[in-house]
Amino acid sequence: MQAMQGDWLPARAALHSTGLYFSLREIRPAELQDPFMQETIARIPARESVVQVAREDVGKGAAGTAPAGVVFHVARCGSTLVSQLLKQHVGLVVYAEPLSVNEILLPPHRWPRAETVAALRSLGAAFARHARKPWVLKLTSWNTLFCDLVAEAFPATPWVLCLRDPLEVAVSLVERPAGWIWEGELPAAPFAKLVDPEGAARSREEYVARIYAAFCDAACRIGPARGALVDYRTLPVALWERVAPRFGLTVDAALRARMEAAALMNSKAPVARPAAFTEDSGAKRAAASVALREAVDRHARPALERLQALHAGVTP
């Protein structure tokens, strides 16, 4: 792919037999203040261009373009707060849940593993060209199921996994399911075999609990050496005490003050309609049905405990 002059953001990606294609939008890095990158793309009119990376060139020429950090998460766990607070750092660009990453990772994978990993590296290089400074990749929740591919694509990049009590996550996913979870009344086909390979779940509650377990099991595959677990209850303090230092970022008093102020706001509110944050952990736990509690205790909590045990004793 030839270098292009301007602020060309890789908005979409497509894998074809002939190579990797990017749809680029001319949007300045400073505009990426929305909770999710696609919201910025929808909000700002911009020129568009399509470029190709020939298949034999995918993954090449990507040295020195890896992200400063990657944010994985288990959904509804404060990861958007993490990415929005990181955006307070003027020396950093944050790409929050890019559709282009989803299009490379969406199962079933169109390319063999090694080429999929190479495609992620080429996408990383495109983000680096756009950022022209250190950058962080905050992923979509289901991307965590393929965290081993992301870790392989960026082998020197530190990462964090945002977690929350599985019962609170499960209540949210039952009440407001993410778009990738269901197809009508059935589990979405691309993910069902990853979440529940034997098709053993007999209720929505059990399936949602298995989703949380699948996230934890996937994170176990990449080990703790470059990673850290960030519990929802430790936010926002964990952002400047653990996440930023892990990503090589300095947080001075002025930046911390901006982060503290931003943490008082609803991190998912549109930029044009800011709203105050309301704590909801107690309400979520009170809303949990007996069936959901049982499913979480049977599937999600043991998987979380395995992950926590793997990370026990590892210095952040």
The CATH number that applies at residue 98 is: 3.40.50
Residue 54 lies in a domain: no
Residue 162 lies in a domain: yes
Residue 3 lies in a domain: no
Read off the pLDDT of each residue in 287-306 and give the average, rounded to a whole number: 98
Residue 68 lies in a domain: yes
Number of domains in the chain: 1
Residue 20 lies in a domain: no
Its pTM surpasses 0.85? yes
Residue 172 lies in a domain: yes
User: What are 114-131's pLDDT values in tens digits?
Assistant: 999 999 999 999 999 999
E strand or H helix at 163, and its extent? Answer: strand 159-163
Residue 266 lies in a domain: yes
Q: Tell me the pLDDT band of 316, cut-offs 50, 70 and 90.
A: very low
More confident: 291 or 6:
291
What domain range is 149 assigned to? Answer: 32-46+62-311
Helices (H), the chain: 37-43, 79-86, 99-105, 113-131, 147-153, 166-175, 189-195, 204-221, 237-238, 244-246, 253-262, 281-287, 290-295, 301-311
Identify the CA nearest to 58 among candidates 118, 128, 17.
118
Predicted pLDDT of residue 63: 86
For residue 121, what are its two tokens? 């590296």
E strand or H helix at 14, and its extent? Answer: strand 8-16
Q: Tell me the pLDDT band of 314, cut-offs 50, 70 and 90.
A: low
Residue 17 lies in a domain: no
Tell me: pLDDT of 300 over 50: yes
